[in-house]
Chain A
Amino acid sequence: MTYQNAQPHGIKPFKPLPRLFGRGALALVIGAYTVYTLGPFLWLATMSVRNTGEISADHYAWPSPFRWEQFRVAWVDSAFDTYFWNSAIVVVTAVAVVTLVGAAAAHALARYRFRGNRIIYGILFSSIIFPPQITLISLYQILVDYNLYNSLTGLTLVYISLQLPLTVYLLEGFFARIPQDLFDAAKMDGYGDIEIFRRIVLPIGMPAIATTLILNFIQLWNEFLFAVVLISDPEKRTLPIGIRAFMGDHFQDIGMIAAGVMISVIPVIIAYAFFSEKLIRGMTAGAVK
């Protein structure tokens, strides 16, 4: 901190808040927030390995015994495996396409001057500020017209279109800050446009790409509204609709519902753990040095 050095000699440095108090307050806020977000999750986790009888006896007790078989029951007996794989296929495909196409589009918008560049950017931006629900009815009609209603392909396409604008917007902001000299240097080193994208933009943009990747993954993994409107066949349900149906079937069985929800949350946790370091770097990356 240069703060104290900046004070002229002889004048006592003015301290807005004693350092210790500031730290303590910060820790308190973070602690409260952690309890607020982590508490319900841990509660749910404990309930997922207890049966409903135990839960009604004492809502908050530590599980004993741990009834791991609830996960197996939820997975096998309630078609969770189908929901899970449907979700996995739709979300992974959509996220992959969104990431690749989004990164390429963002690079083009950030780096190339062409007629209509800013118009495209403006359209993308405006599609972010409108709530996606307003497209629901027309999307339904379009999917029916193209025979894509009630199909995973249709849902995947919808998911791609939902997440693409924000992805392009976020990546464009990051890519635009990559110094032009790097591109010029790569050109002088003999590389063409596509190779520069692959060997310079993608690796340098990795923190930002990881950020959008995980945001898109979480968003789509939990997506309910479009899935419930555009999918009717039980065989084609994704996890969020599956859990909804499961809650209907097991209305009384809190323990089973908790196990089902835990199953759906696990991939998000894994994805987050896998990318979190890059995610944090992406969020804190001020500029590319």
Chain B
Amino acid sequence: MAVVQLDSICKRYGGVGPVAVDNVNITIADGEFMVLLGPSGCGKSTTLRMIAGLEDISSGTLSIDGRVVNDVPAKDRDIAMVFQSYALYPHMSVADNLAFGLKRRRVPTADIDRRVKEAAQILGLSQLLDRKPHALSGGQRQRVALGRAMVREPMVFLFDEPLSNLDAALRVNTRNELIRQHHRLASTMIYVTHDQVEAMTMGTRICVMNGGKVAQVGAPLDVYWQPADTFVARFLGSPPMNLFTLPVASNGAEIGGGPVLGPLSRWREATLAKLAGQEAILGVRAEDLHLSREAAGAAGGTIRGRVFAVEPLGAETLVAVETDGGVECTARLPRDVAARVDEVIDLHFAASATYLFDKASGKAIPADGETHRPHAPRGALQ
């Protein structure tokens, strides 16, 4: 049970050099499942390792339950961590791996036994307690790594991409197992991943990171439907959100013209007045694009382009087009779509599916009035 608070946390490796983590401020509530999401190298692991106490904090304060722990060594923080490599001790049996942390903490032997047996039973490891890690499958190793954290009953659980070495089917199972364990334990958990599906499905909140900075923090669907900038818009969603840099009409009623035209009825006139005649970035998600104008509604927008790739995924088909201006755009269309390569097609989208971003900063220009959240995302995530 713990609140983890990061206050202006920065990290420079070796005290000098580039900033790996840049002024991160997040408060992770008690019992929350916080996902740190971002591309490789954006500073997720570094952030997690600073919370763990495995890396020094260059500046800022880290507190757990109000106590500043910047200078508390890892071994005294009462935090457990599950590593991407699992980091099982190769010379110890599964049982010893599970008990290793408890032995150090002078937990009575009977207690250790009970906790190890209990965790092994929950995770289906009871038959494997005498095995060495090298005699386990990837999924079993993963569960031992999880069990090793669980038996400790720590204040905070940390996970660094724990599922990335598993195959697809096992990943889904283990994901569900982790969600179940989070409900059962109700502990604070901080989970690092570069996989948006894991983030969307597991997180109570997600924190999207980019280049060492926090790009956005929020509940998964809030972040998905209201991305703070073009980076978040493209990082969440598969395929990424389509973006077009276009001039806003001088009357502010629409953006673009010719092959790509977007209606701006979501924004108030006052907001648009400032943009009129200047360039901005129009965003449309792939699943909001339709072949028929009716599906998009009357006052919708259009993208005209030449098809250059058709990718049938079974449940649906991805159609990639290139506009006259050479901008690529992907639509997620029904599986029976009749699109052929080199055909010129029109893709339609509803006015409510339009996003607008500032051209210079990439920041979202928030729509006034009704937020875009039209329906449950149709296969928005694979």
A binds B: yes
- Give me the interface of A with B, judged by CB distance under 8 Å: 179, 181-182, 184-192, 195, 200, 203-204, 206, 288-289
Bound-state CA distance A184–B81 (Å) is 9
Q: Is the CB of A204 within 8 A of B100?
A: no
Shortest Cβ-Cβ A-B pairs, 7 listed: A189-B101, A181-B87, A185-B87, A190-B104, A203-B91, A190-B75, A187-B74
Q: List 21 A-B contacts (CB under 8 A).
A: A181-B85, A181-B87, A182-B89, A182-B90, A184-B74, A184-B87, A185-B87, A185-B148, A187-B53, A187-B54, A187-B75, A188-B74, A188-B80, A188-B81, A189-B148, A190-B76, A190-B101, A204-B89, A204-B90, A288-B90, A289-B134
Main secondary structure of the interface of A (DSSP, over half): helix
Shortest CB-to-CB span from B93 to chain A, Å, is 12
The number of chain B residues touching the other chain, given as a range, is: 20 to 34
Residue pair B75, A184 in contact (C-beta under 8 Å): no
B52 within 8 A of A: yes
CB within 8 A of B79: which of A188, A203, A204? Answer: A188
Q: Does B83 contact A (CB under 8 A)?
A: yes
Contact B90 A189 (CB under 8 A): no
B274 contacts chain A at the CB level, 8 A cutoff: no
Nearest-neighbour CB distance to chain A for B7, whole angstroms, equals 23
In the complex, which residues of chain B have a beta carbon less than 8 angstroms from the beta carbon of A182? 87, 89-90
**Contact in complex: B54, A192 (CB < 8 Å):** no
Most interface-central of A184, A192, A195 (chain B CB within 10 A): A184
- Are B83 and A192 closer than 8 Å at their CB atoms? no
Interface assignment of B375: CB less than 8 Å from any CB of chain A: no
In the complex, how many angstroms separate the beta carbon of A125 from the nearest chain B beta carbon? Answer: 25
Q: Which A residues lie within 8 Å of B84 (CB)?
A: 181
Q: Which residues from chain B contact A186 at a C-beta distance below 8 Å?
A: 89, 100
Which residue of A has the minimal Cβ distance to B80? A188
Cβ-defined contact, A188 with B134, below 8 A: no
A189 to B73, CA, bound (A): 12
| Any A CB within 8 A of the CB of B105 | yes
Chain A residues near B89 (CB-CB < 8 A): 182, 185-186, 200, 204
Report A-chain residues with C-beta under 8 Å of the C-beta of B53: 187
A186-B54 Cα distance, complex, nearest whole Å = 11
Chain B, residues 334-375, CB within 8 Å of chain A (1/0): the string is 000000000000000000000000000000000000000000
Determine if A204 and B74 form an interchain contact, defined as CB atoms under 8 angstroms apart.
no
Residues of A within 8 A of B90 (CB): 182, 204, 288-289
Are A204 and B104 in contact, with the CB atoms below 8 A? no
Across-interface contacts of B152 in A (CB, < 8 A): 189
- Rounded to whole angstroms, the CA-CA distance of A289 and B85 in the bound complex is 10
Q: A181-B85, A189-B100 are in contact. List 14 more A-B contacts (CB 8 A).
A: A181-B83, A181-B84, A186-B89, A186-B100, A187-B54, A188-B52, A188-B101, A189-B75, A189-B148, A190-B101, A190-B105, A191-B75, A191-B104, A288-B90
List the B side residues contacting A195 at CB < 8 Å. Answer: 104
CB contacts (< 8 Å) of B100 on chain A: these are 186, 189
Q: In the complex, what residues of B have CB within 8 A of residue A204's CB? A: 89-91
Q: In the complex the two chains form, what is the Cα distance from A182 to B100 in whole Å? A: 12
Residue of A nearest to B152 (CB): A189
The smallest C-beta distance from A103 to any residue of chain B, in angstroms, reads 15
For the complex, give the distance between the alpha carbons of A112 and B28 in Å: 32
Residue of A nearest to B83 (CB): A181
Contact A184 B54 (CB under 8 A): yes
Complex CA gap A135/B148 in Å reads: 52
CB distance from B165 to the nearest CB of A (A): 12
A224 to chain B, nearest CB (A): 38
- In angstroms, Cα B101 to Cα A200, docked, is 13
Give per-residue flags for B200-243: 1 if the beta carbon is below 8 A from chain A beta carbons, else 0. 00000000000000000000000000000000000000000000
Q: Report Cα–Cα, A186/B75, bound state, in Å.
A: 8
Closest-CB distance, B143 to chain A (whole angstroms): 15
Say yes or no: B75 contacts A192, CB within 8 Å: yes
Task: For the complex, give the distance between the alpha carbons of A190 and B79 in Å.
Answer: 9
Complexed CA–CA distance, A190 and B104 (Å):
6
User: Chain B, 46-88, contact with A by CB distance < 8 Å: what is the 0/1 string?
Assistant: 0001001110000000000000000001111001110111010
Contact B104 A185 (CB under 8 A): no
Q: Which residue of B lies closest to A195 (CB)?
A: B104
* Residues of chain B with a CB closer than 8 A to A200's CB: 89
CB distance from B102 to the nearest CB of A (A): 9
In the assembly, what is the distance between CA of A203 and CA of B52, in Å? 25
Report the separation of the CA atoms of residues A191 and B102 in the bound assembly, to the nearest whole angstrom.
11
Residues of A within 8 A of B81 (CB): 184-185, 188
| Residues of the B chain whose Cβ atoms lie less than 8 Å from the Cβ of A288 | 90
Closest to B55 in A: A184
- A181's nearest neighbour on chain B, judged by CB, is B87
Distance of B333 from chain A, by nearest CB (Å): 38
Q: How far is the CA of A206 from the CA of B90 in the complex (A)?
A: 12
In whole angstroms, what is the CA distance A187 to B52 when docked? 10
Q: Are B54 and A189 in contact (CB under 8 A)?
A: no
Residues of B contacting A190 in the complex (Cβ-Cβ under 8 angstroms):
75-76, 101, 104-105
- Residue of B with least CB distance to A204: B91
Nearest-CB distance from B255 to chain A (Å)? 49
| Candidate in A182, A186, A188, A203 with the most chain B CB atoms within 10 angstroms | A188
- Per a CB cutoff under 8 Å, which of B76, B83, B134 touches A184? B83
| Contact (Cβ within 8 A) A185 B75 | no
Least CB distance, B153 to chain A, in whole angstroms? 13
